[in-house]
Structure 1
Amino acid sequence: MKPISVDLTNQFLVAMPELDDSMFGRAVVYIFRHDEDGAAGLIVNHPSDVQFAHLLSEIRLPALKPLARPEQPVLVGGPVHPELGFVLHRGHGPWTSTLHSSDSIAVTHSRDVLDAISQGHGPSDYLVSLGYAGWQPGQLEEEIADNQWLTSQASTDVLFELPYEARWEAAINALGLDWRLLSHDVGHA
């Protein structure tokens, strides 16, 4: 396989304003893996109707310690395997099925991290999502070339500090851009 030309791991994909898609419209996607096999990421600004406390109850993990944010919504992480849960978190712990996408950010796809959170000894900063976004080799690069996405360095402030509805505009502003002035037209020589 041909190596990828640009590694977008630990980057944000920020949907262009004109991207008119029910799943990806105004989405901010955290790319946790990008290699010769394709890319995978989690949408970090589209909350679902499911609250985290309800999810814990559904998988029979009662909140033994008071949860800091029991009303925190579970995010719609993407269209691929929407029945599977993922925890995007700050810090690296002893959990299984963890992919370290940077020195400080990881994605865990195992029940033990949810158990740790429910008992009060999991990561302090985390997002829980169902499903993920995935791209075949070359597909993401083609979408970027077609001006569907902007890319930027991921920010823990955007991930863990800002309200969901403020993340898209903040990610664009971090690039020094005003979304109202962005054009969807792509120039070709």
Structure 2
Amino acid sequence: MTQYLNHNFLIAMPKMDDPHFQHSVIYIAEHDEKGAFGFVLNKPINMNMQMLMQQADIETQLDDNQNLRYGGPVGQDQAFVLYKPSVDHSANLFNPDIALSNSMETLKSIAFGLGPFEYISCLGYAGWTENQLEEEIAENIWLCVEADSKLIWDSPIEDLRKHALKKLKIDESMLSEIGGNC
């Protein structure tokens, strides 16, 4: 029986050579028999929310210089908002602390100061086909640990990987590029 990794972090091992995912921490939003998808949380891009609103032709007084994050290589023309749910904004709720939307209504709500107020915006997402993620984990490409909402909302982006590894009681300097199986 497959163990699904909903609400888990994937932490790229040092041997990860795909530039999309090197040194990444990915929040797995959904994982089932058809595949998985999630968002790289620790790679900022050179675009902020004001710039996104401008591209979407949304007028805003928003003074948010928070950089968007590179969510992954799939759907690079789509903006996704992971947020702390306090009101429903056409969201998929992944757990009580994390919701997801890619609706224009959510962007407009943020632009007009109506919430959500705690959020992370990503361009694109990471996706895996049926059994692909399980195979990559078996190849020692990823470490897995239950996601911690506090880390998502409170960790500085540059420290997220270190804090996620700490949940596994691993110091990054102790990781090896050489994997092995017993």
Category of TM-score, reference length = shorter chain? over 0.9
Measure the CA separation in 1 of the matches of 2:87 and 2:13.
Answer: 35
Distance in 2 (alpha carbons) for counterparts of 1:153 and 1:92? 23
Cα RMSD (Å): 1.4
What is aligned with 1:50? 47
1:91 to 85, 90, 110: 85
Q: Within 2, Cα distance between the matches of 1:185 and 1:27?
A: 18
How many angstroms does 1:92 deviate by? 5.2
> Do structure 1's residue 28 and structure 2's residue 21 form an aligned pair?
no
Q: Which residue of 2 aligns with 1:174?
A: 167
* Structure 1 unaligned spans of 5+: none
Query: Percent identity of the aligned residues?
Result: 34
Aligned positions of 1:7-18 closer than 5 A: 7-18=4-15
Quote how far apart the aligned CAs of 1:75 are.
Answer: 0.7
The reply on whether 1:156 has 2:153 as its aligned counterpart is no
Amino acid of the structure 2 residue aligned with 1:178 = D
Alignment correspondent of 1:120: 113
Matched with 2:70 is 76
Secondary structure of the corresponding residue to residue 30 of structure 1: strand
What TM-score do the two structures reach when normalised by structure 1? 0.90
Regions of 4+ moved over 4 Å = none
State the alpha-carbon separation in 1 of the partners of residues 2 and 32 from structure 2.
9
TM-score after normalising by structure 2: 0.93
2:102 is the counterpart of 1:105 = no
Aligned positions, number:
181
Which residue of 103, 121, 128 corresponds with 1:135? Answer: 128
Which position in structure 2 is the counterpart of 1:165? 158
Whole-Å Cα distance in 2 between the matches of residues 132 and 112 of structure 1?
20
Q: Is the 8 A contact 1:30 1:44 kept in 2?
A: yes
* Contact 2:97-2:149 at 8 Å conserved across structures: no
- Unpaired runs of at least 5, structure 2: none
Distance 1:145 1:102 in 2: 27
Contact kept, 8 Å, 1:91 with 1:104, in 2: the verdict is yes
